[in-house]
Structure 1
Amino acid sequence: MTEAQLRQYQDLQEVPIEDPGSDHEEGWAYEDVLQGRQDIPISHEGGELNAIREIHGMRAAWVEKKRIDFRTRRDRTDRHTRAFQKEIPGATQAFMDWSLRKKEGWALPEEEVEEESSGSGGADIRVVDVFTTYDMHILYPAKDTLLTALVRRGFIPCAPTNPSVCITIDALELFRVTNLRSPHLSIHAFIKALCDLHGTPFKRYLATQFSIAHDLHLTIRANIDKTVQKLLFELLFTMDGNDSLKRIVKYELGADGEPLRTCEGLDSRKVTDDLFLARDEVNKWAIEGLQDLMGDDFTEDNPDADYNPCIDRWKNMKADITKRMWGIFDETGIFLALCRHGFALVIADMVRSGEMAKYPLSVVAIMLKVFGKDLGGGYDIGCKLKGTLTRSPLAQLVHELNYSSLVGSFHGHAHRRLCQLVHLATYVRGLGLEDLEGCERAFSKSNALAGSTRHASVFHRIQAIDAYFKHNDDAEVFANLTLFEYNNYKQCTEILESGPTALATAMHDLGITDTAVFEECRVEERVYLEGLSHEPLEETLQMEYYQKLVNLAATTLTPEEKKARATRRKIFNKYEKDLMRVLDLEEKLQIETRWTPECQEWRDAATLVSMSKYQLALDNLEGLIVARMFELTKMNMSQTGYKMRKHIAKALQSCSHAIRTALDNYNTATRALNPPRQQLEWSAVVEYAFLADFDLLRDARQDNSQKLWAKPAGRLAMDLYYKIMRAGEERDRLNVEIRHIVTYLRDEEQYLRRMEATLHSERPELAHQISVYAARRGHFYQQHHRRLIKIANLPGFTGTLEPGVALENGHGEPASVWSMLQMDVDGAAPAASRVADEAEDEDNVSEDRREAEAEGQASDEEEEMSAVITSIIQLAFD
């Protein structure tokens, strides 16, 4: 009988059926016998207990033991990360191989196919693409792991070991590019769209699988970019904080609902580039870190520091506000630095705080370390940062490297006039027309990331922000680089063309013969406003003495009051109190004869008191006007909901009543002055756009209303003069930058072509990645050349489009000497003559194309104007 026949007979044999009434019982419970819960029949032979022990041991050997799993959900991400990290180098090489094969249309090499046919491993994989899902069996050679073999075929696995599901690189790339263009698109939304296309219900684990593959895809791309990519930036930069990109920290709640501990997964992954500052690097500039750096020289508050008149206007100047933040957030926003063209330079996470001083200090420190001398940094409270830098360990470095702390043009108009005369970009020599407000424009777009990062992990939030700003640098800022130059050049030439004529007319009307008067006026106005910063101590005491004498005279009893005993006692106590203060002030002021209403000192002090009340009324009116300005801008902003608009409308209505009352008080105070000041009308007050208009109404000891800088016409002429000066500086800067761009475009193209040709035979996969990078950069070259030609055709253009010679020409630089060798790659024309060729082709452009370009230019100008308006509106939140 064969083995197969025996197995068939065994399957067909009868199964014994147990009789419920039978006295025989199979399977004694050994533990029950030992505990006395079950009896066993004992024979004369004995040994029943040993037999039961043997049966129990045999059964225990056959029963599979349940494995105790000590893993937790919290450390799953960390284990995935460690497992993936070992595969990253091989996966990066496999990705480059796949990319090269896809471009060339190559199949797998024959030797690799032979290795796979007798391969050392295989796996069944489900592949998810954009429109299809299919199963496949993959064999891979001994030199590959399963992960690298999958990547080499264009699939990204969802697990580091033994994956069962893969996502195609094309599907991941579609999500990556779409998400960067529209940050509102989340992984959940994209997976739901794929489920709709595939006709399958959405399940949360599908999004988790896609997220794992997406992280691996971004890591591989980042490794490739490190080999190829390098960016250079300019020296003028702007920085600011934004609290939209917060992240909620996850807590484990106790029985009482209070948070016990964080329950976030362990994730050791980090975004490995120089864009994000490490938290330790930032924290060393906190108060505790400054104490360690400066030792005994550290003082948190410097009583001798210059008074800052803007401190009451900006919430990020107030330490009690910036130190506080809701406990549900860990990261409370980002602090960003951009160059004047919009390239991201450095980002710092704001952690469990508002916009504290340690963030701009850490940014200035890294900028000075990297870029060196003659930096100009714009910041909305640059006036205060200037003082903070002088009291920090950076003070000597700031002085030696000539660092300038500036205030942006739009934020600057919300500062006091005294601050504007020193720090505002309009009055800074050499700054040109740069407004230093690039961060506001960047935040207006990056705020779209808030929805997808609010509940993300620490790594995924940083990864999303990092990917967004890098893509923005490549696809937006670099693409619009020459558009920025064109718009600025067009603006400064228009100012230089029409400005001098308008200035000459204004000077003639004002009786001014020399433009040096405007510099003298600015200095005179600054000296005057500095005198208003603090009231002299003697005048303060004189005003208090006058007020106490008035109070003392007011406590004289009338005949009716003398009859009331309680009133008499109350007034007498008040009289004694005022008398003691009068005697004390007479001793301090060394007054021998008490003042009376007939003496000159009384009248002078009365004038000072009237002026003080006038200024208090003016301060109250100004504060209400500022609140109204901010509420109006918020009401007209996009993404302000209906309920919020109604709430703001009610606030505006209440504010209007308060403004009318404050205006009445102000006009009453002006009538008490000698001579009376000009009354303000409701229609004029509500149209105030610049807060500097209020500063000119402050006058404590002299009448400067006839000064040139105090007249509206004089101030307009002075602003026009400085605008013309800055426009000339801007044209000089643009002439330098335009030649830099022409040179860089030529050098980068030649350098990348040279590198691609050099590596084509040795490392074809790396050469292909260089060509991919070159194609991504070169995608905008043609429009750059066209815009450069438009700049050269502008009336008043004084620069040149002839390429220069770059100073940085060492190994690895685009302008390195060995990359400038004569070469002929694919019959390409020399890059130096590309601009001239574009100029010749301009005459051959079709009419349809010209119309389309004109429409595109109009659209660009509208977009630029929209960005400017957005920047102005953002002032409401600073």
Structure 2
Amino acid sequence: MAQMVLEQQQALAAEQERREALTAEELAAEQAWRDEPDDYVGPTTTYEQEVLDGARTADISHVGKAIDPEAADDELLEDLAEEHDYNAAFSKKQRHTDYRRRRDRTRRLVDAFQVQLGALTDAYMDWSSSASLAASYMPLEEEGDPTRIKVVVVDLFACDLWHVPLRAEDKFVASGLVRQGLFPCSAAVAGVAITTRALEYFRVAQLRCPRLGIQAWVRTMCDVHGVPPRPYLGVQFSVAFDVYLLVREETARRVRAALGRNDPCWRLRNVCPCCTYKLEGETKDWPFLFTCDGNDSAKRFARKTREQWDDEGNPLPRESAERDDSRRAPGDYFISREVVESWAVADEEELAKVRDEDEERESGCSEKWQNMKESHTVRAAAVYDETGIFAGLCRHGFVLAFVDMVKSGELAKYAFALLAHVCKAMGPEIGKLILGYDIGCRFYTMVMRHPRVSDLLNDREFQALVGAFHGTAHDRLCQTRNLPKYKDDVGLEGFEECETFFSESNALAARTRYSTAFHRWQAFVTWAEHKNRFQTYAQLSHTLTTKYRHALVVLAEAPVLARLMSELEGATPATLEGWLKAEREYLSSLKKEPEEETLQMEYYQALVNFYDAKEAADGLRGNVTGLQFLGESGVDRAGAESATRRFETNRRHVYERENKCLETVRYLEARLELVERWQPGDENWVQAQVLVRKRRYQLALDKLESLVAARLLELWKMNIPGTGYKLRKHIAKAMQARSKAVRTALANYNAAAAALESPRPPLEWEAVVEYAFLAEFDLLRFSCHDVRSEPWAQGSGRAAMDLHFKIKRAKEEIQRLNVEIRRLYTYMRDEDAFLAHHARRLHDGHQPQLAHQVELYRQQHTRFSDEHRRRLEKLGKEAGCTAVLKPGTAVSKERDVPTAARKEETEMADAAHAEALRMAESEVEGAEDVDVEAVADSLELVLRMADDA
């Protein structure tokens, strides 16, 4: 009992000293956090008063008897009051009614930590420069009698109560804990703190496994600690984790400022070294290739109030119940909603209409893509706030930016905002942009007709293409205009990086579906930043070598192309490109039927209907009386009258149909200015009959093409990485039903093809699948002349055309990859030297904490350099590789190191080089059995590292 009282008195005295040491601003901030009124002085009812009034029972005295209030003297009551100071913070009587809502408490918590952010960051950088994540928490050994507070310290494998000392230089309790590797769960009253290594382990594990949520992690720690899970434990961990990420972001901001990289557009201008790090002496200014697309998997439910009804029982509109959180997405990955809304257009359909020089037409692709239909773009589920994300990536997979799709489908404003953001950030160094988009044909028209196109592109050359895979579902005319295979300076790029990215980012949807808006942004930004730095950059050399080997495989087919060209009567590359132009002109002629032919077909069909109706009416005109009454023969008179009425009704309908068909025929005759009516067997009749059969053939072909295109997309969806087993089974069942529809459409097509004047051979199932991949359905259509005899419509001609453009793009790919590989080599050397120089500069400038953070950033960046060099050097030994595997000189001078510093680095590198050679020679001389190959590899690695330095 005495020990408990002593500890309580010491805690109260320490708390009183701490509050007295606070400044007026800090005390006001703490009172705001606790939500105490300015005139609050604590409870006025004392313990002795309650005992005297009989409101509570007195404690047992030291002699084991209950204290009688009436017999108690003043001295005893004073002793009781001193031992039980209920005016302190631990008294239940002190607690006043808390009128704050949870959304208010969240805002106050955020504001309280925001005030302390500078001190917390200083403390974290101090701890990071002197501690290690491998060490468990141990309290500091401070001289004298420092102020200590009781804190429950939660680590990975233990949870203990510690008396944590606070240093005098710490202004806040939170910063004092962070300086010792502990992140508190409260800004003022620190009762629980979580170690930095526990937070860091969770952060890294969550980035590597985006499905991992806080609840699962906290329950895992509870199982390890041997305690039952509690709901408040997840809240405490979430608060500490948010503070940890906030401090890390502020630390990264300080590092960027120290390196001179605090420009808002710096990250995007340097997002990919192969795309943006230009070198001197490059013979060609390659365009910047990137892709964008929308993904509706990253939805988030809108938090709303409960349903309420008015007096008449009608439901009232539900208001938003989102917490009052002023935090926004960290970093510069997300484009704000205000900027996105500034690019909204009133009528996307009108903006997307394709206008030729002499006619207006609609693209046939709009019928095949759901995100190009108005009914899909304007529809959004009422239960969601954000309905997905719209992302942009470079051709190597680096994330450029995100856009929130808010209560809508994939609208044009999202792509406009992303394109404008990229154009603004890239600066004048990037002269040409090529965007890959699954509806690039439509989007390019919208960009060119947008009223703010000059603001959008900043006078840049711009092209929008359809993706290599998604382009197979576009009509052939669209492919000849917008497929990457037929565009210069694109190489073998397929513009399908977004699909791979979304297959990975979909893992975030499970833990962000019910989160707050800020935590959803936080999840996507931290994951995208980690992916850029530790996944995409780590695999950058693998991406380059894979693309290079693929291009070499394509170039190896040059003898096949030469053989095909010799078989085609000595066709040249210019001839093959001319065939593509001829095919484009032929397909353009199919986009619209001649008006005269359309009227003739309508007139023919009207005549067929009229003659059928006239024949039926003539058969009824001879029967004037209708059915005879058969009552004399014993037939029921009522039944005969009913049959007569049905007969007369049917005859009236036949006459009306005849008159209606006759009116249609007369109208079309006036349109065609015919003097005599066509009769079956006439020359005009036969010609129109042929045209109608061709139309039926066209309709059957269109139906077959649309079903096969849908089938192809479903097959691709089944192979997307990350698609679950149940979803694949669901798609497989849908495929079985769709295959029946395809077979039915195939049978209808074969029937229509056989009814033609010149019957076409029937299509088999295997041929239909092949047509789906080559997108050659348009070759089965008709024009004014039969093109089946044209060389570009033959199988060998089309194979030669396809192979010619593939080889042409492969040569461009090799040239571009040679530039990108050298850019990567130069970037690795310059970035390492730049970071090393600034780390030493900051250390010499008496900023060791900041220098340590720059050094950590350098280590993160250079950890993949050796692997990059190994992969690229292995590629350089392969036949056909022409890449220059050595650094060049960058155009940008922002990573230049002063001459004196560079000279010092060179001397240090030479000294290290000489020492490595001396040690290697001594080891070789003193060894009996020497692995010469291993020694050579080691020397090569040392020399390369020294040369790079």
Q: Give me the TM-score of the superposition, normalised by structure 2.
A: 0.77
Alignment partner of 1:237 is 2:294: no
Paired position in structure 2 for 1:32 = none
Alignment partner of 1:722 is 2:775: no
Paired position in structure 1 for 2:862 = 778
Residue 620 of structure 1 and its aligned partner are, at CA, apart by 1.8
Percent identical: 41
Instruction: Give the letter for the 1:94 counterpart.
Output: A
Aligned partner of 1:535 among 593, 598, 604: 593
Aligned partner of 2:187 among 160, 165, 171: 160
Query: Is this contact kept in 2: 1:416–1:691, CA < 8 A?
Result: no
Residue 280 of structure 1 and its aligned partner are, at CA, apart by 0.6
Q: What is the CA–CA distance in structure 2 between the aligned matches of 1:203 and 1:12, rounded to whole Å? A: 39
Q: What is the CA–CA distance in structure 2 between the aligned matches of 1:177 and 1:345, rounded to whole Å? A: 22
Query: Is this contact kept in 1: 2:353–2:445, CA < 8 A?
Result: no
Q: What is the CA–CA distance in structure 2 between the aligned matches of 1:318 and 1:185, rounded to whole Å? A: 36
Query: Is this contact kept in 2: 1:548–1:581, CA < 8 A?
Result: yes
- Say if 1:447 and 1:829 are closer, same or farther in 2 by CA, change over 3 A: farther
- Say if 1:245 and 1:829 are closer, same or farther in 2 by CA, change over 3 A: farther
Query: Is this contact kept in 1: 2:293–2:390, CA < 8 A?
Result: yes
Paired position in structure 2 for 1:336 = 391
Aligned partner of 2:166 among 112, 128, 140: 140
- Say if 1:362 and 1:646 are closer, same or farther in 2 by CA, change over 3 A: closer
Query: Is this contact kept in 2: 1:803–1:832, CA < 8 A?
Result: no
1:347-496 equivalences under 5 Å are 347-371=402-426, 372=428, 373-396=431-454, 398=457, 400-496=459-555
Q: What is the CA–CA distance in structure 1 between the aligned matches of 2:906 and 2:235, rounded to whole Å? A: 45
Alignment partner of 1:708 is 2:737: no
Paired position in structure 1 for 2:50 = none
Paired position in structure 2 for 1:553 = 611
Residue 306 of structure 1 and its aligned partner are, at CA, apart by 4.8
Paired position in structure 1 for 2:777 = 694
Aligned partner of 1:149 among 165, 168, 176: 176
Q: Which moved more, 1:769-778 or 1:580-589?
A: 580-589
Residue 642 of structure 1 and its aligned partner are, at CA, apart by 6.5
- Say if 1:265 and 1:824 are closer, same or farther in 2 by CA, change over 3 A: same
Cα deviation code 1:793-851 (max 9, x no counterpart): 22222231232111111xxx223556962223994469999xx9xxx99x96659x99x
Instruction: Give the letter for the 1:360 counterpart.
Output: A
Query: Is this contact kept in 2: 1:744–1:814, CA < 8 A?
Result: no
Paired position in structure 1 for 2:873 = 789
Q: What is the CA–CA distance in structure 2 between the aligned matches of 1:409 and 1:301, rounded to whole Å? A: 22
Query: Is this contact kept in 1: 2:503–2:722, CA < 8 A?
Result: no
Alignment partner of 1:87 is 2:116: yes
- Say if 1:468 and 1:425 are closer, same or farther in 2 by CA, change over 3 A: same
Residue 664 of structure 1 and its aligned partner are, at CA, apart by 2.4
Cα deviation code 1:741-780 (max 9, x no counterpart): 1111111111111011111131000000011111111110
- Say if 1:493 and 1:107 are closer, same or farther in 2 by CA, change over 3 A: closer
Paired position in structure 2 for 1:214 = 241
- Say if 1:167 and 1:63 are closer, same or farther in 2 by CA, change over 3 A: closer
Q: Which moved more, 1:98-107 or 1:624-633?
A: 98-107
Alignment partner of 1:225 is 2:306: no
Q: What is the CA–CA distance in structure 2 between the aligned matches of 1:505 and 1:820, rounded to whole Å? A: 59
Paired position in structure 2 for 1:506 = 564
Structure 1: state its 5+ residue gaps.
Answer: 1-6, 18-61, 292-297, 851-878
Query: Is this contact kept in 2: 1:338–1:346, CA < 8 A?
Result: yes
Q: What is the CA–CA distance in structure 2 between the aligned matches of 1:644 and 1:789, rounded to whole Å? A: 42
Instruction: Give the letter for the 2:399 counterpart.
Output: A
- Where 2:243 maps in the other structure, the secondary structure is helix
1:720-759 equivalences under 5 Å are 720-759=803-842
Q: What is the CA–CA distance in structure 2 between the aligned matches of 1:766 and 1:532, rounded to whole Å? A: 67
- Say if 1:14 and 1:401 are closer, same or farther in 2 by CA, change over 3 A: closer
- Where 2:903 maps in the other structure, the secondary structure is coil
Alignment partner of 1:606 is 2:665: no
Query: Is this contact kept in 1: 2:423–2:458, CA < 8 A?
Result: no
Residue 8 of structure 1 and its aligned partner are, at CA, apart by 7.5
- Where 2:130 maps in the other structure, the secondary structure is helix
Instruction: Give the letter for the 1:693 counterpart.
Output: E
Alignment partner of 1:99 is 2:123: no
Q: What is the CA–CA distance in structure 1 between the aligned matches of 2:713 and 2:136, rounded to whole Å? A: 63
- Say if 1:829 and 1:570 are closer, same or farther in 2 by CA, change over 3 A: farther
Query: Is this contact kept in 1: 2:351–2:446, CA < 8 A?
Result: no
Q: What is the CA–CA distance in structure 2 between the aligned matches of 1:436 and 1:639, rounded to whole Å? A: 20
- Where 1:546 maps in the other structure, the secondary structure is helix
Q: What is the CA–CA distance in structure 1 between the aligned matches of 2:319 and 2:215, rounded to whole Å? A: 28
Instruction: Give the letter for the 1:213 counterpart.
Output: A
- Say if 1:703 and 1:106 are closer, same or farther in 2 by CA, change over 3 A: closer
Q: What is the CA–CA distance in structure 1 between the aligned matches of 2:578 and 2:477, rounded to whole Å? A: 15
Q: Give me the TM-score of the superposition, normalised by structure 1.
A: 0.83
- Say if 1:819 and 1:444 are closer, same or farther in 2 by CA, change over 3 A: farther
Q: What is the CA–CA distance in structure 1 between the aligned matches of 2:720 and 2:465, rounded to whole Å? A: 27
Residue 578 of structure 1 and its aligned partner are, at CA, apart by 1.8
- Say if 1:302 and 1:382 are closer, same or farther in 2 by CA, change over 3 A: closer
Cα deviation code 1:516-538 (max 9, x no counterpart): 11111111111111111111222
- Where 1:760 maps in the other structure, the secondary structure is helix
Paired position in structure 1 for 2:882 = 798
Q: What is the CA–CA distance in structure 2 between the aligned matches of 1:735 and 1:634, rounded to whole Å? A: 34
Structure 2: state its 5+ residue gaps.
Answer: 1-60, 72-90, 262-266, 276-287, 310-314, 627-647, 925-930, 939-949
Q: What is the CA–CA distance in structure 1 between the aligned matches of 2:460 and 2:720, rounded to whole Å? A: 41
Instruction: Give the letter for the 2:436 counterpart.
Output: G
Query: Is this contact kept in 1: 2:378–2:409, CA < 8 A?
Result: yes
Paired position in structure 2 for 1:660 = 743
Size of the aligned set, in residue pairs, is 778
Q: What is the CA–CA distance in structure 1 between the aligned matches of 2:854 and 2:728, rounded to whole Å? A: 52
Q: What is the CA–CA distance in structure 1 between the aligned matches of 2:114 and 2:544, rounded to whole Å? A: 43
Q: What is the CA–CA distance in structure 2 between the aligned matches of 1:540 and 1:436, rounded to whole Å? A: 40
Query: Is this contact kept in 1: 2:504–2:722, CA < 8 A?
Result: no
Q: Which moved more, 1:784-793 or 1:764-773?
A: 784-793
- Say if 1:221 and 1:649 are closer, same or farther in 2 by CA, change over 3 A: closer
Cα deviation code 1:410-460 (max 9, x no counterpart): 111111111111111111111111111111111111111111111111111
Q: Which moved more, 1:716-725 or 1:589-598?
A: 589-598
Query: Is this contact kept in 2: 1:561–1:567, CA < 8 A?
Result: no
- Say if 1:746 and 1:313 are closer, same or farther in 2 by CA, change over 3 A: same
Residue 491 of structure 1 and its aligned partner are, at CA, apart by 1.8
Q: What is the CA–CA distance in structure 1 between the aligned matches of 2:395 and 2:516, rounded to whole Å? A: 32
Q: What is the CA–CA distance in structure 2 between the aligned matches of 1:284 and 1:832, rounded to whole Å? A: 58
Residue 211 of structure 1 and its aligned partner are, at CA, apart by 0.8
Q: What is the CA–CA distance in structure 2 between the aligned matches of 1:348 and 1:579, rounded to whole Å? A: 59
- Where 2:366 maps in the other structure, the secondary structure is coil
Paired position in structure 2 for 1:253 = 306
Q: What is the CA–CA distance in structure 2 between the aligned matches of 1:246 and 1:796, rounded to whole Å? A: 47
Query: Is this contact kept in 2: 1:409–1:435, CA < 8 A?
Result: yes
Aligned partner of 1:767 among 838, 848, 851: 851
Paired position in structure 1 for 2:581 = 523
Residue 689 of structure 1 and its aligned partner are, at CA, apart by 3.5
Alignment partner of 1:321 is 2:412: no
Q: What is the CA–CA distance in structure 1 between the aligned matches of 2:882 and 2:735, rounded to whole Å? A: 50
Q: What is the CA–CA distance in structure 1 between the aligned matches of 2:789 and 2:486, rounded to whole Å? A: 23
Coordinate RMSD, CA, aligned: 3.3
Instruction: Give the letter for the 1:591 counterpart.
Output: L
Query: Is this contact kept in 1: 2:352–2:442, CA < 8 A?
Result: no
- Say if 1:451 and 1:169 are closer, same or farther in 2 by CA, change over 3 A: same
